[in-house]
Amino acid sequence: MEKVCFKTDDGLLFDTLKKALSDLGAFDVVRSGGMLALEDKGDRVVLGGGRVLKKPFAVSSLVDALENEVVFVFAEFAVYPVIRKVVSGDRFVVLTEIESKLLELLCRAKRGIASGDMMQKIFGCKSASAAKSLSTHLHNLRKKLSRLGVKDDLIIIAKNKYRLNF
């Protein structure tokens, strides 16, 4: 079960949002692979990626914002695909668009993902040049993550599929 965090002292707001989001199916996004953080600040709600919704807001606005706020959490690291950051405490690294897409694919692929499928989803084709590009981007991603103290074997190949090892 994935975590859904919402900090508020306003029980009515929490219950209303919980029901509205459940009814609209927004929690399917959360269940697909991450943790969602919302914080009630009185006159506004702050989403995990830093986006602010001023009260009152339409539930549809919140649902639209939430679709872009999926956060993947592993060990002590949080991955924010939309803003292309990986955060650990007060440190972070900024990813390229491709690195962010690769890491998001790996976070979503619980049982791993074949390199051909990764190439197709990222580059739209499976070719020798796409394979070389995939290898280069994975190398760069590992290098950036190591700056945050992520172990070298976080991204592994097992049974001909890439997956996260945590």
pLDDT winner (highest mean) among 37-41, 67-71, 78-82, 146-150: 146-150
User: Is the pLDDT score of 96 beyond 50?
Assistant: yes
Q: What is the predicted pLDDT for the residue at 59?
A: 72
Taking alpha carbons only, the member of 35, 31, 58, 56 closest to residue 47 is 35
CA distance 146 to 136: 15
What is the Cα gyration radius of the chain?
A: 18
Amino acid at 42: G
Q: Is-contact 34 107, C-beta < 8 A?
A: yes
Mean pLDDT to the nearest integer, 92-115: 91
Q: What percent of the chain has pLDDT over 90?
A: 33
Res 153: pLDDT: 85
Q: Flag whether pLDDT at 14 surpasses 80.
A: no
Could you identify the residue written with the tokens 């459940």? 22
96-164 is a CATH 1.10.10.10 domain: yes
Average pLDDT estimate for 145-160:
88
What is the pairing mode between strands 36-40 and 4-7? Answer: parallel
Residue 102's SS3 state is helix
Per residue, the 3-state secondary structure of 136-148, as one string, reads: HHHHHHHHHHHCC
Provide mean pLDDT across the span 152-157: 87
pLDDT (0 to 100) of residue 68: 59
pLDDT at residue 132, rounded to an integer: 95
Residue 1 pLDDT: 27
Residues 6+ apart with CB under 8 A from 150: 75, 77, 142
Residue range 89-103: mean pLDDT, rounded: 91
Q: Where do the domains of the chain lie?
A: 4-67, 96-164
